Amino acid sequence: MTSVTVVVPMSIRRRGGRKRIIGPDGAPVRAGGDTAGVTTTRGDPALVKALARAFRWRRMLEEGRYASISELAAAERVDRGYLGRILQLTLLAPDIVEAVLDGLQGADADLARLMEPLPSEWSEQRAELASPRLPRQPGTPDATARSD
């Protein structure tokens, strides 16, 4: 009797607490091998979740479901300051949001950085997020350090 071995390149990845089988083309595989209708993101899960919350909360405010950020924060059981900082994500340039969802936002644009105040002008946001916050050359003074 002759045996045949079939090798299928795949990997198992954890996303959002769930395990997914990833096929050789990088797409998630569902039962039966179907990848149609599977929405996937390559972005940092924490950033993607924060963006989803931000746009959901903004929609709730715009629809008048809550009269204020404080009221919404109480209903969602989150700190008002946190909710306000997350809402700032809705002011990001559309191409920055897309880059975050695709995981192409750059190492400096993590959630903590995006929750800090950013310029309202999209071109200024792009410039600020594209430039390094700290000098890359060893031995140079920190550009963000105060000299007082």
Instruction: Please report, to the nearest 10 degrees, the dihedral formed by the alpha carbons of residues 56, 82, 99, 127 taken in order.
Output: 130
Q: Sorting pLDDT into bands at 50, 70 and 90, what band is 140?
A: very low
Highest mean pLDDT among 4-18, 53-67, 105-119: 53-67
Q: What would the mean pLDDT of 69-79 be, rounded to a whole number?
A: 96
- Strand, helix or coil for residue 28: strand
Residue 143 DSSP symbol: T
HSE toward the beta carbon, residue 9, CA cutoff 13 A: 4
Q: What is the pTM of this model?
A: 0.61
